Chain A
Amino acid sequence: MTRPQQSSTPGTTGQRRAALTAGPDELAGAAVAPTPRERDRSTLVASVDPGSASRVLVEVRAARAVVGGRTIWAGVDATICAGEFAAVLGPNGVGKSTLLKAILGLLPLAEGRVRVAGRAAGRANHEIGYLPQRRSIDASLRVRGLDVVRLGVDGHRWGVPVPGRRNRDAWARVRQLVDLVGAGGYAGRPIGQLSGGEQQRLLIAQALARRPGLLLLDEPLDSLDLPNQAGVAALIARIAREEDVAVIMVAHDVNPILSYLDQVIYLGPGGAVCGTPHEVITSQTLSRLYRIPIEVLTTSDGRLVVVGQPEAPAVHADRHGAGADGGGW
């Protein structure tokens, strides 16, 4: 499905930020009432000032992916702009990670096209901060969190760091990043000894090191406990807004991130659907996609809750070996 290219003016950004800094109740309410963004779309489709139009980071058109001779998804259309938070959702083995690979240009499409920052997929990877799916960091790895973040700044360079201006600048950037994700209290400790949530924050900082326009996150909430899931989800949403980064995140469970999402890309055996949470997250659409009855409920404080999706924790355990979505690449 397609939707109009929206534009954003300074006023709308202000609105969005206001929604973010509001209390959790108002925040959650945004998912039910038309979000400020949706309202913008209806009133501001004709861009007043072309210079302020949101930058389109990812454009997916009629994309079909084939892995091992089998079509794993087809008909995927999506447009994700700077500052937007999009989630790739769907059952196990449906090829959610594969979509990220297609955006990185690691998997050629069978049909359709993917453009990143106006260029063919794979040609603009310097614009992408990527956080792959991972089990966990080896507990015995004795390298500081700071050094892991530093690798994001200049780890791709040859040679070794030598004292000097460039080295100081790199550490200054590391300090900024650590502050951005709120990891100042533990970034100096060996990363193997940190909790899953702390590690995930540092890895997000690493992915942001080169000021990417697009952040691709593959199940960053996986294996985190509930408070950490909420914390990291809020962090990612804040980064999208404040740093004006487009975020595409693969997730199992939509509930921790639902209130922050601007867009949802649902991949399922019954097809693919993309749009705002409001358009996609309905009992009818989800039931059709999953081919099992799914209910979307609205809680008393106005939040959407998806019930009955086949993503019980018991299913997660065997996910790593699971075919196209297994992340083994």
Chain B
Amino acid sequence: MSGSFSWNLLADLKDMWSLAFMVNAFRAGTIAAVLAGPVGWFMVIRRQNFAGHTLAVVGFPGAAGAIWAGVSIAYGYFAFCLLGALAIAILPGSGGGSDGSAGRGDDADASAITGTVQAFVLATGMAFLAWYGGFLDSATSLLFGSFLGITTSQVTVLAAVAVMSVAGLGLIGRALLFASIDPYVARARGLPTRWLGFGFLVLLAVTVAEVGQITGALLVFALLVLPAATAQRLTARPGLGVAVSVVLAVVTVWTALFVGYYSPYPIGFWLTSVAFAGYVAAHAGGHVRDRLATRTPRRPAPAVAR
């Protein structure tokens, strides 16, 4: 996509938003980002990146199957990701982290199996697209993202699911943090850590399904991991970290959509590049800060901050 760029950014935005599909792209992207911020933050804390990636890959044949069956790709994403979450929860060692282990994917055998299944699932998606006919274009946009053709009804579905998911995360947030950091103590205190883990896996599946519709199956981490990891690099406060993660995800989406509209490169490229640039900057900044902190002796007993 490339509109004609002027240096008057406001006029550019106006120009972009005169197109209904761009408005939908901004809406859908913002919704996905707001959901990906907190869910990604928890995923990074729980070290369930492997589970997140598996879910994203599983979403691809879902979307391809939906195209083949002639229904909205949203349904394909949601259905397959939720089934994937169920499978991860049931199969041991596939990243579900049923208790405490939080799915570090460190069981070599299990992770090899999961890797094998990922490859097979990707191939299945390609088969769906081949049967459907329009092979190359759809494959690229499903794997690497597209902001064309997001319909208003799709935005409505995304918004409804996101509102429910954020509410669900709000309900379990504090207990989930406890269960993620200190599963044994949390369980001794009576928290249902197993159910919390499963509940989070469902939220993760829903989030991956939403984000995948914007970024494509392979670039889900641009919104799911990078803003959250950057936020954790910037602050060790949970509340602030989640907020920063959301802001970074939204900024990433908006910047990528804006630049993507005026450039010949696909949206997925810009999403990933912007998010990665933020991560690198936060890391570099953190290093500089740590160097300065070690040079000046730490003053004892700083006040307890809220």
Interface residues of A (CB under 8 A from B): 104, 125, 128, 130-132, 134, 138, 141-144, 146-148, 151-152, 154-161, 167-168, 171, 174-175, 178, 184-185, 187-190, 206-207, 329
Contacts and interface: CB of A to CB of B under 8 A. Distances in A.
Contacts of A206: 182, 185
Main secondary structure of the interface of B (DSSP, over half): helix
B119 interface: no
Given A134-B184, A159-B173, A184-B304, 6 more contacts: A155-B191, A156-B186, A158-B174, A160-B173, A161-B174, A207-B185
For the complex of A and B, 9 pairs with smallest distance between CB atoms: A155-B178, A160-B173, A184-B301, A190-B236, A132-B184, A142-B232, A175-B304, A185-B300, A130-B188
B106 to A, nearest CB: 12
Nearest to B293: A189
Contact of B174 (A142, A155, A174): A155
Contacts of B304: 146, 171, 174-175, 178, 184, 187-188
Interface in B161-200: 170-175, 177-178, 181-182, 184-186, 188-191
Interface of B: 45, 47, 170-175, 177-178, 181-182, 184-186, 188-191, 232-233, 236-239, 241, 298, 300-302, 304-306
Contact of A158 (B172, B181, B186): B172
Q: Give the residue among B181, B191, B236 with the most A Cβ atoms within 10 A.
A: B236
Contacts of B185: 130-132, 152, 206-207
B177 A151 contact: yes
A141 B188 contact: no
A146 B47 CA distance: 21
Contacts of B191: 155-156
Contacts of B305: 146, 188
A195 B178 CA distance: 21
A155 B171 contact: no
Nearest to A133: B184
Contacts of A157: 174-175
Contact of A141 (B45, B186, B233, B302): B45
A144 B237 contact: yes
Nearest to A171: B306
Contact of A156 (B178, B184, B301, B306): B178
Contacts of B298: 185
Contacts of A174: 304
Contact of A148 (B181, B190, B300): B181
Contacts of B233: 142
5 contacts: A147-B238, A155-B186, A159-B170, A167-B306, A175-B304
A155 B175 contact: yes
Contacts of B237: 144, 147
A156 B173 contact: no
A211 to B, nearest CB: 14
B182 A144 contact: no
A206 B181 CA distance: 12
Given A146-B304, A156-B178, A161 B45 contact: no
Contact of B182 (A148, A171, A178): A148
A171 B172 CA distance: 20
Contacts of A171: 304, 306
A102 B188 CA distance: 12
Q: Give the residue among B184, B188, B300 with the most A Cβ atoms within 10 A.
A: B188
A151 B239 CA distance: 13
A141 B174 contact: no
A267 B178 CA distance: 33
A125 to B, nearest CB: 7
A143 B236 contact: yes
A98 to B, nearest CB: 15
A224 B300 CA distance: 22
B190 A151 contact: no
A278 to B, nearest CB: 33
A160 B300 contact: no
B188 A156 contact: no
Nearest to B172: A158
Contacts of A147: 177, 236-238
Nearest to A105: B188
A144 B235 CA distance: 9
Contact of B181 (A125, A141, A159, A329): A141
Contact of B190 (A141, A142, A156): A156
B181 A151 contact: yes
Contacts of A154: 174
B172 A143 contact: no
A104 B187 CA distance: 11
A160 B188 contact: no
A134 B100 CA distance: 12
B236 A144 contact: yes
Contacts of A184: 300-302, 304
Given A157-B174, A188-B304, A143 B181 contact: yes
Contacts of A187: 304
Contacts of A207: 185
A175 B185 CA distance: 21
A132 B193 CA distance: 16
B187 to A, nearest CB: 9
